Structure 1
Amino acid sequence: MINYIARKLIPALNIQPYIPNYSKAVEHFIPHVGGKPVLDELQRTLGFSDEAMEASRMTLYRYGNTSSSSIWHGLAYVEAKGRVKKGDRVWQIAFGSGFKCNSIIWRAMKTVDYDDSYPWTEEIVGFRFRLI
């Protein structure tokens, strides 16, 4: 609030908007895969690393824009990579048409071990992070 007020009252100081460090609050960020421009802007605006965006970018690569259901493909990706540990927080955020938006943060109750029933199992070894 102080940042906002200072920016409005003293524009000559050119104070930048405050952006919280979300990576301190969650270990895994899985946004809706609305396309590369959407992912690029979310990453830039929220300050997430390339690694944090990997699940969504790989979901876009493999499945395309599957609307808000893409957050479940992204969750399956981080689980198949063996990245979800007990106590980790996973932030899923999905957008729909119009003004629809949903956001939830899950806490892992146990470490998710590799399981051959994941939808990514057959291909996960071949996927390496790359900017899409």
Structure 2
Amino acid sequence: ELAYTEAKGRVTKGDRVWQIAFGSGFKCNSAVWKAMRDLRTVGDWRGNPWDDCVDKYPVSVPVSVAT
């Protein structure tokens, strides 16, 4: 999800992201990531898993006619 947010250009320099992971039972881990620079061009985020298809998302869903 962080990679998607980066690929959409919604993470800018100075932003902080809280990552939290839950394990089994009472195990939990967290980290705070801070963006060190802006990702302005496609070349800046090369290697991002979304780099070849980010333009296809989000998918527009047509409003269906209900009852």
TM value normalised by structure 2: 0.68
In the other structure, the counterpart of 2:55 is: 125
Equivalent of residue 35 in structure 2, options 98, 108, 118: 108
Q: Per the alignment, do residues 101 and 120 of structure 1 end up closer, same or farther by CA in structure 2, a change over 3 Å counting? A: same
Structure scoring higher RCO (CA < 8 A, sep ≥ 6) equals 2
- Residues 63-95 of structure 1: CA distance to partner in whole angstroms, max 9, x if unpaired? xxxxxxxxxxx2211111111111101111111
In the other structure, the counterpart of 2:20 is: 93
Question: Partners in 1 of 2:48 and 2:34 — Cα distance?
Answer: 20
TM value normalised by structure 1: 0.38
Structure 1: gaps spanning 5 or more residues: 1-73
Q: Per the alignment, do residues 121 and 83 of structure 1 end up closer, same or farther by CA in structure 2, a change over 3 Å counting? A: same
RMSD of aligned C-alpha atoms?
1.9
Runs of 4+ in 1 over 3 A off after TM superposition: none
Residues 1-132 of structure 1 correspond to what in structure 2 (within 5 A)?
A: 74-113=1-40, 114=42, 115-128=45-58
**Amino acid paired to 2:51:** T
Identity percentage of aligned residues: 56
More strand by share: 2
Structure 2: gaps spanning 5 or more residues: 61-67
More helix by share: 1
Q: Secondary structure at the match of 2:58?
A: coil
Report the number of matched residues: 57
